[in-house]
């Protein structure tokens, strides 16, 4: 080592203070970091909480002055002031009396009772202890002596200083009995005085309550008192994890550690919370009431990872491998579907309902099975299976009866024989039970034949219905020909189109159609626009489109349909050319009937196969009803519809449709593309679905969703999830073929393009995202066993037949009629079909059943509406099956909380005198009843705008009728039935206008009288009423 090296000895020559300083600084810093991370870094919710407390307090302070100035304004209003003054006046008028009573209680009764109570208690306890000794001692003599002692004590005189109201005291001598008597008297007196005070102050306290109610009725949100309470809560705000723990499910949701405003009583908006969306209140308080977060938590509905609180990504479950990510804004109703899986309509979930409806209406269910959708064919199989099982069981028991009886005949022991005979008899009775069951199942099976509907029209009828040349053009691109149509666009080349068209054309049935003379298109247009066609069908193209979306747009029907067929179709769309036998699996022809010598008639009443007695399909499988129009009117409408066309449209000749060589390949393609999922096609009636089942598609493992070559791209772009998969597939069903080498076109994806709009895609995606194999326990599922089940079932029927196109079925719903320009006019507004909100409370279910089965309410006079002949729109005949009618009737009863079966309430008979009075009132100038309500007189009824009273008894419920007469505006705001017909007088309703003289001194309720009159109305009485009204008119 050289000197130089020694010079550089670090120990001697350099200071370590710098490295030491740096290291210690680093140590300090990392300590600080560790502490920070511990407190805030991994607990981001803490800063949310302190921030929330700050902005919330600020907000509360900012609204408080408003609230209190608003309160002050109300308090300064003359009404409030008057109530306040009246209350004060009421207090003053009784003040002296109250004061006197109060004084007596406070200055006399209470102090005197107190003064006397002590000596009384002393004596009583002495007596009590002696009595106990008497009961426990055995010596008769000591008992006697103690009894004497008690007598002695009772007689003893005590001098008590009773305080007097003037402040002095007065000495009074008391024995025990007098003490007891006085104390009791004072106690009673005190109670009496206190009650008197309450009674005296009653007007005052009532006015005070009215005054306070006046204020609380007008302060909408929260009172300033409540705001102060909330502010106090914020002052003591305690930072800590807020969690919901549901023990039985082992669910822990800590969402509210950051989403602190969710359940605050004040409605918090983003603006109110300083632009922080995380703090807003739950947007639907009603929904939270039904799904109390303390019982349901947050994540079962919303998705996300409820336990994670260390980052937004993890808490929202958007990290990799988390199976249940938070539903995004446009799909949040997916959360409803997993528990409301049996429903087609879920209250408060409009997007989900729209998604389900698209799935149903656009025919997704034609290719993709989804439990609950299009269930009739499956149910048919299971019912038939059930029938077979029951028949087997029956045969088995029959055999057993034979064996048992034989055995009984041969047995030697009488008792044993008796037992065996009994057993055989029991089996017979049980078989009769089975017969009843089989009968029900048979009925269900024939109902089901009626209930099966197809999304698209029957292709068996093409030869009858269509211009041949139109078919290939349509197949090429249905959406180009008719934008928005249900039929999706398949990716077909010319060869495919020709083969498919040829097969369909050649497999069509032929038959005879009556030739119709031309109708009047002008009249037809009027009928089309007013009879109710537009509740389902739309007319006009582009922005001119008006009407419903449930069925086809008819703007170009003139280019494709045959007139005679169209007339038959409009007259009764269920009429088909040939009946189909599901047993023989073919369409029967006239020859089949001829062979058996039976007339070639098939309809609802002639629905058995002449060959083998099996139930036939005698209807077209369309939900389109019959409007019970005359043939003339059907011709007018058909003539009008045939004027609807593009006059410049041309169709190339398509003679190849008759080329038999194309048929086989066409049949293959039709089967391959699953056309029979939506259409009835000859030979393909029993085809199975071609697509994958979607009931649990939302929880299919992501790696089983085939993103094909787009997987990596999807990951990069952030859509490698179910939502992304569904959205891209719906947007372009061929998307996952991109870049793939598939020379054989049959290897390509075959799902056609539905041309859904972005909102429609969101709705269908919402439905699919909610279609999961839920991990939630059973109690979360909405599977009610009460009337709510009837509501679930009923909605399927209501959606199936589009009742909501014409009727309001639930509060807040818009019908198609409400949107049609014609029906905005004040006069046409009354022509809208009736609202069905509260229908279950309004009508007798037995009547409703009859009406639904036959809306004309007549077997012969069918060209009319049974109830509202004055409406141009008409309740059509849907040919509902019995079980559909049952479901609808139960639906309405359940929706209005009506118990079933309905029992007519007993009604007090109307006296002759009352009947005369009611008739006089009905026909007086002061009562408008007969101005609008139909009477059956043709001339009068031309102007009628309300039903005939003759229907009331059968149709209505009396309680509803009275509520309706008195307050129609409560049930249907804006109804043609005027309000204010009755006024309240004491505890009864009195007619508000001038009453006939006979009403003088009539002490009873006028509304009740009219209800009893209407419910005991007869045709004879109607004649009397008409005569009386006519006489009145002549006056």
In the complex, the residues that contact another protein under the rule CB under 8 A are 18-19, 22-23, 25-26, 29-30, 33, 36-37, 40-41, 44, 47-48, 51, 55, 58-59, 62-63, 66, 271-276, 826-827, 829-830, 925-928, 931-932, 940, 943, 945, 968-969, 973-981, 992-994, 1033-1035
Distance of closest approach, residue 33 Cβ to another protein, in angstroms: 5
Looking at the Cβ atoms of 513 and 932, the one nearer to another protein is: 932
Looking at the Cβ atoms of 764 and 871, the one nearer to another protein is: 871
Looking at the Cβ atoms of 29 and 900, the one nearer to another protein is: 29
Distance of closest approach, residue 975 Cβ to another protein, in angstroms: 6
Distance of closest approach, residue 450 Cβ to another protein, in angstroms: 40
Looking at the Cβ atoms of 652 and 1034, the one nearer to another protein is: 1034
Strands 538-539 and 251-253: unpaired
Distance of closest approach, residue 825 Cβ to another protein, in angstroms: 9
Looking at the Cβ atoms of 277 and 409, the one nearer to another protein is: 277
Distance of closest approach, residue 320 Cβ to another protein, in angstroms: 22
Looking at the Cβ atoms of 147 and 829, the one nearer to another protein is: 829
Looking at the Cβ atoms of 268 and 500, the one nearer to another protein is: 268
Distance of closest approach, residue 221 Cβ to another protein, in angstroms: 12
Tokens representing 329? Answer: 């804004």
Distance of closest approach, residue 1011 Cβ to another protein, in angstroms: 18
Looking at the Cβ atoms of 693 and 969, the one nearer to another protein is: 969
- Number of Cβ atoms within 10 Å of the Cβ of 65: 10
- The residues facing 561 across adjacent strands are 466
DSSP secondary structure, 241-282, as one string: ---EEEGGGTEEE-GGGT-TTTT-SS---TTTTTT-GGGPPP
CA-to-CA distance for 333 and 647, rounded, in angstroms?
46
Looking at the Cβ atoms of 740 and 931, the one nearer to another protein is: 931
Looking at the Cβ atoms of 412 and 1035, the one nearer to another protein is: 1035
Distance of closest approach, residue 354 Cβ to another protein, in angstroms: 26
Distance of closest approach, residue 100 Cβ to another protein, in angstroms: 46
317: Cα within 13 Å, side-chain hemisphere: 20
Helix (H) or strand (E) holding 586: strand 586-587
Contacts within 8 Å (CB) and 24+ apart, 300-304: 300/251, 300/335, 300/339, 300/776, 300/780, 301/335, 301/336, 302/255, 302/326, 302/327, 302/332, 302/335, 303/327, 303/334, 303/335, 304/255
Distance of closest approach, residue 809 Cβ to another protein, in angstroms: 20
What are the angstrom distances between the C-alpha of 124 and each of 87, 212, 301, 462?
47, 49, 68, 107
CA-to-CA distance for 165 and 111, rounded, in angstroms?
9
- Number of Cβ atoms within 10 Å of the Cβ of 576: 25
CA-to-CA distance for 752 and 730, rounded, in angstroms?
9
- Number of Cβ atoms within 10 Å of the Cβ of 1001: 5
Closest CA to 915 of 1032, 1020, 1030, 1031: 1020
Q: Which residue has the tokens 């406070």?
A: 106
Closest CA to 566 of 529, 602, 515: 515
Looking at the Cβ atoms of 47 and 188, the one nearer to another protein is: 47
Task: Find all residues with CB under 8 Å of 486, minimum gap 6, and list them.
Answer: 361, 362, 363, 455, 456, 552, 678
Burial of 68 from C-beta contacts in 10 A (0-12 / 13-18 / 19+):
middle
CA-to-CA distance for 582 and 616, rounded, in angstroms?
7
Handedness of CA 396, 401, 404, 406 (dihedral sign): negative
Distance of closest approach, residue 543 Cβ to another protein, in angstroms: 19
715: Cα within 13 Å, side-chain hemisphere: 10
823: Cα within 13 Å, side-chain hemisphere: 23
Asked if residue 469 lies in contact with residue 651, where contact means CB atoms within 8 angstroms, the answer is: yes
**3-state secondary structure string across 909-935:** CCCHHHHHHHHHHHCCCCCCHHHHECC
Q: Which residue has the tokens 């009068």?
A: 940
Looking at the Cβ atoms of 25 and 241, the one nearer to another protein is: 25
Looking at the Cβ atoms of 56 and 296, the one nearer to another protein is: 56
- Number of Cβ atoms within 10 Å of the Cβ of 989: 20
Q: What is the CA radius of gyration of the chain?
A: 42
Looking at the Cβ atoms of 56 and 673, the one nearer to another protein is: 56
Distance of closest approach, residue 999 Cβ to another protein, in angstroms: 13
Distance of closest approach, residue 732 Cβ to another protein, in angstroms: 39
Closest CA to 578 of 615, 617, 526: 617
Asked if residue 271 lies in contact with residue 284, where contact means CB atoms within 8 angstroms, the answer is: no
* Order of strands, sheet of 586-587, starting from the edge strand that comes earlier in the sequence: 586-587, 575-581, 617-619
Distance of closest approach, residue 189 Cβ to another protein, in angstroms: 52
Looking at the Cβ atoms of 23 and 132, the one nearer to another protein is: 23
Distance of closest approach, residue 736 Cβ to another protein, in angstroms: 40
Burial of 719 from C-beta contacts in 10 A (0-12 / 13-18 / 19+):
middle
Looking at the Cβ atoms of 596 and 983, the one nearer to another protein is: 983
Distance of closest approach, residue 723 Cβ to another protein, in angstroms: 27
DSSP secondary structure, 223-239, as one string: -HHHHHHHHHHHHT---
Looking at the Cβ atoms of 898 and 924, the one nearer to another protein is: 924
Distance of closest approach, residue 311 Cβ to another protein, in angstroms: 10
Distance of closest approach, residue 676 Cβ to another protein, in angstroms: 48
Looking at the Cβ atoms of 239 and 932, the one nearer to another protein is: 932
């Amino acid at each position: 080592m050289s000197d130089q090296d020694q010079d550089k000895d670090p120990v001697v020559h350099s200071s370590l203070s710098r490295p030491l300083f740096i290291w210690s600084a680093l140590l300090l810093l990392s300590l600080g970091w560790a502490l920070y991370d511990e407190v805030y870094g991994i607990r981001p919710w803490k800063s949310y909480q302190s921030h929330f407390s700050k902005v919330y307090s600020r907000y509360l302070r900012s609204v408080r002055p408003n609230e209190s100035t608003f309160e002050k304004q109300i308090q300064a209003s003359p009404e409030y002031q008057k109530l306040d003054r009246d209350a004060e006046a009421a207090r003053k008028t009784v003040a002296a009396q109250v004061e006197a009573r109060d004084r007596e209680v406070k200055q006399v009764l209470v102090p005197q009772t107190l003064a006397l109570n002590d000596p009384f208690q002393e004596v009583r306890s002495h007596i009590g202890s002696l009595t106990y000794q008497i009961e426990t001692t055995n010596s008769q003599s000591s008992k006697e002596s103690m009894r004497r002692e008690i007598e002695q004590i009772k007689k003893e005189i005590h001098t008590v200083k009773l305080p007097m109201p003037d402040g002095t005291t007065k000495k009074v001598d008391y024995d025990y009995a007098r003490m007891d008597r006085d104390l009791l008297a004072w106690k009673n007196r005190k109670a009496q005085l206190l009650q008197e005070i309450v009674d005296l102050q009653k007007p005052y306290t009532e006015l005070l309550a009215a005054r306070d109610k006046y204020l609380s009725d007008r302060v909408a949100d929260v009172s300033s008192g409540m705001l102060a309470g909330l502010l106090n809560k914020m002052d003591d705000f305690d930072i800590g994890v807020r969690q919901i723990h549901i023990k039985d499910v082992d669910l822990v949701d800590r969402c509210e550690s950051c989403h602190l405003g969710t359940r605050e009583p004040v409605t918090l908006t983003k603006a109110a919370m300083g632009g922080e969306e995380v703090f807003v209140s739950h947007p639907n308080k009603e929904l939270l009431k039904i799904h109390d977060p303390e019982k349901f938590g947050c994540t079962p509905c919303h998705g996300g990872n409820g336990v994670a609180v260390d980052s937004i990504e993890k808490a929202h479950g958007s990290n990799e491998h988390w199976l249940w990510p938070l539903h995004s804004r446009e799909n949040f109703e997916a959360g409803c579907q997993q528990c409301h899986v049996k429903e087609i309509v879920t209250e408060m979930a409009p997007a989900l309902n729209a998604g389900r409806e698209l799935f149903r209406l656009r025919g997704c269910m034609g290719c993709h099975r989804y439990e609950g959708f299009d269930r009739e064919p499956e149910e048919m199989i299971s019912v038939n299976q059930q029938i077979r099982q029951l028949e087997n069981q029956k045969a088995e028991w029959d055999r057993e009866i034979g064996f048992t009886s034989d055995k009984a005949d041969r047995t030697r022991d009488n008792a044993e024989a008796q037992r065996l005979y009994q057993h055989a008899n029991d089996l017979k009775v049980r078989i009769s039970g089975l017969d009843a069951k089989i009968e029900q199942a048979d009925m269900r099976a024939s109902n089901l034949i009626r209930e099966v509907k197809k999304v698209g029209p029957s292709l068996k009828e093409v030869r009858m219905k269509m211009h041949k040349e139109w078919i290939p053009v349509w197949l090429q691109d249905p959406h180009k020909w008719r934008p928005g149509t249900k039929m999706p666009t398949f990716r077909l080349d010319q060869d495919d189109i020709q083969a498919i068209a040829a097969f369909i054309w050649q497999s069509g049935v032929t038959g005879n159609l009556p030739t119709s003379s031309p109708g009047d298109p002008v009249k037809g247009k009027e009928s089309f626009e007013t009879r109710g066609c537009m509740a389902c069908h739309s007319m006009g193209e582009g922005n001119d489109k008006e009407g419903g979306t449930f069925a086809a747009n008819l703007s170009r029907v003139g280019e494709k349909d045959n007139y005679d067929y169209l007339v038959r179709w409009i007259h009764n769309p269920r009429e088909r050319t040939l009946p189909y036998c599901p047993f023989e699996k073919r369409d029967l022809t006239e020859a089949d009937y001829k062979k058996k010598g039976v007339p070639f008639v098939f309809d609802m009443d002639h629905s058995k196969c002449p060959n083998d007695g099996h139930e036939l399909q005698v209807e077209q499988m369309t939900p389109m009803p019959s409007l019970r129009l005359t043939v003339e009117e059907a011709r007018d409408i058909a003539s009008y519809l045939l004027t609807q066309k593009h006059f410049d449209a041309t169709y190339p000749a398509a003679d190849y449709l008759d080329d038999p060589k194309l048929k086989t390949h066409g049949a293959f393609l039709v089967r391959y593309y699953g056309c029979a999922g939506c259409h009835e096609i000859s030979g393909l009636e029993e085809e199975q679905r071609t697509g994958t089942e979607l009931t649990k598609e939302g929880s299919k493992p992501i790696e089983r969703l085939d993103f094909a070559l787009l997987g990596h791209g999807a990951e990069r772009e952030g859509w490698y999830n179910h939502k992304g998969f569904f959205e891209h597939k719906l947007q372009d069903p061929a998307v996952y073929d991109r870049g793939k080498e598939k020379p054989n076109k049959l290897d390509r994806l075959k799902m056609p393009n539905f041309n859904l709009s972005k909102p429609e895609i969101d709705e269908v995606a919402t439905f699919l995202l909610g279609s999961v194999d839920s991990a939630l326990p059973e109690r979360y599922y909405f599977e009610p066993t009460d009337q709510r089940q009837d509501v679930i079932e009923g909605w399927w029927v209501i959606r199936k037949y589009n009742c909501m196109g014409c009727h309001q079925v639930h509060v807040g719903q818009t019908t198609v009629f409400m949107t049609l320009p014609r029906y905005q006019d004040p006069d046409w507004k009354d022509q809208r079909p009736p609202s069905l909100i509260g229908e279950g409370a309004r009508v007798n279910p037995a009547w409703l059943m009859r009406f639904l089965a036959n809306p004309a309410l007549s077997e012969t006079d069918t060209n009319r509406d049974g109830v509202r002949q004055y409406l141009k729109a008409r309740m059509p005949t849907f040919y509902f099956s019995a079980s559909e009618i049952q479901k609808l009737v139960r639906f309405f009863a359940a929706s209005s909380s009506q118990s079933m079966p309905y029992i007519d309430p007993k009604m007090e008979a109307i006296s002759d005198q009352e009947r005369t009075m009611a008739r006089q009132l009905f026909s007086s100038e002061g009562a408008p009843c007969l101005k609008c309500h139909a009477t059956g007189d043709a001339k009068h009824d031309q102007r009628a705008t309300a039903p005939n009273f003759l229907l009331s008894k059968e149709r209505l419920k009396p309680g509803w009728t009275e509520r309706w007469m008195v307050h129609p505006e409560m049930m249907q705001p804006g109804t043609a039935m005027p309000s204010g017909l009755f006024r309240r007088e004491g505890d009864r309703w009195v007619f508000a206008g001038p009453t006939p003289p006979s009403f003088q001194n009539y002490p009873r309720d006028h509304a009740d009288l009219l209800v009893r009159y209407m419910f005991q109305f007869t045709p004879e009485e109607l004649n009397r009423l008409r005569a009386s009204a006519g006489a009145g008119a002549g006056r």
